Chains A and B, each alone.
Chain A
Amino acid sequence: MNGAADPAGGPPPQVFASVGSMFAFDRFVRAVDDWAAAHPDVPVLVQIGSGEYVPRAAAFVRMMPPGLYQQRIREARLFVAHAGMGSIIAAIQAGKPLLMMPRRLDLGEHTTDHQFATLAKFGGREGLHSAMDEAALHAAIDALLADTGAPPAPIAPFAGPELIGRVRAFIHGSDQG
């Protein structure tokens, strides 16, 4: 697949990659695009957000509506993203293996380095994989497409009853803390 910017046409991507929806992440987009250039037989789609780097091999889109976004995750064999909670929750809810690369504060990719902490907490869970840099990302995409392993364990669509119950009590004025 060549750099067509139309995510609605063509075969569903086998690899769907996303920078999330808040900040650009050009280092990640370039890494995924370099992988796509080396694997022209694998359809790759990247949501690049407001980034300046425009993929030359992978198909890309800046943003897409939530329904289509979730559909792309379900259709793909592998979901690749920054280490954001939106990506993690979307992958778990879709039952799709997720490969994450963290944003770095020193490169201006986020306001703090909390994505490293997120990987430390979630990176080892079933179906949630991490790659700390571009080279590791390339190796991990290869490995996961060869064997995606177990998907993330399914979860209920909503938070657990204890948290829901206490927020509900707060709303109704009967739980101040």
Chain B
Amino acid sequence: MAARPIRVLAIASGGGHWVQLLRLRPAWDGCDVAYATVHADSAADVPGARFFSFRDASRKNKAAFAVVALQLLRIVTAVRPDVVVTTGSAPALLAILYGRLLGARTLWIDSIANSEVMSSSGLRARRIAHQTLTQWPELAADPVPRYWGAVL
């Protein structure tokens, strides 16, 4: 069987989470990448790529978060990623969980905004994702989160 490109789901919420994800694009050059974020307009940032959007929700709003949970399940099962990479926030943790359950390797990169403590989702990601990163060396720990550098 001919090798197929690695399928990557690159997913982030809006604002800074999405902007940070975009700064990592060369990492999946040559892969079969699908993007997912909260604003449909953001498709313009990744022309030509497979693109999904989902509702924005913080964990504060349980009903909205339940809707997002279903949307993300649909996205992950549609993409069937080999790898899930995210720069947060909370909804993306569900994509990590679903991806992992479906056999993907999963990478959580905590937002560079979390410079004094990991985000609450990042703390949870340490137990769910295969690898969890912080973007601040002083927050690095053994075994996780690791520090591999920052998007800035």
Do most interface residues of chain A lie in helix, strand or loop, or is the interface mixed?
A: helix
Q: Return the chain A residue nearest B6 by Cβ.
A: A171
Find chain A residues with CB under 8 A from B101 CB: none
Q: How many inter-chain contacts with C-beta < 8 Å in the A-B complex?
A: 126
A162 to B120, CA, bound (A): 26
Which of A22, A90, A158 is in CB contact (< 8 Å) with B25?
Answer: A158
A160 B41 Cβ-Cβ under 8 A: no
Q: Return the chain B residue nearest A119 by Cβ.
A: B115
A117 to B139, CA, bound (A): 13
Give, as a whole number of angstroms, the nearest-CB distance from A60 to chain B.
Answer: 18
Range class of the B interface residue count: 35 or more
A158 B149 Cβ-Cβ under 8 A: no
Find chain B residues with CB under 8 A from A85 CB: 15-16, 19-20, 111-113
CB of B130 within 8 A of chain A? yes
B6 A163 Cβ-Cβ under 8 A: no
Q: Return the chain B residue nearest A157 by Cβ.
A: B23
Contacts A158-B25, A168-B28 given; indicate if A66 touches B15 (C-beta within 8 A). no
Give, as a whole number of angstroms, the nearest-CB distance from B149 to chain A.
Answer: 3
CB of B26 within 8 A of chain A? yes
A173 B105 Cβ-Cβ under 8 A: yes
Q: Name, among A63, A112, A163, the residue most crowded by chain B CB atoms within 10 Å (CB to CB).
A: A163
CB of A148 within 8 A of chain B? no
B114-152: CB near A (< 8 Å → 1, else 0) gives 111101100000000011000000000001101011111
- Chain A interface residues (CB < 8 Å from chain B): 20-23, 63, 65-67, 84-90, 92, 111-112, 114-115, 117-118, 120-121, 155, 157-160, 162-168, 170-173, 176-177
- Chain B interface residues (CB < 8 Å from chain A): 6, 8, 13-20, 23-29, 31, 38-39, 41-42, 44-45, 56, 58, 60, 83, 85, 105, 107, 109, 111-117, 119-120, 130-131, 143-144, 146, 148-152
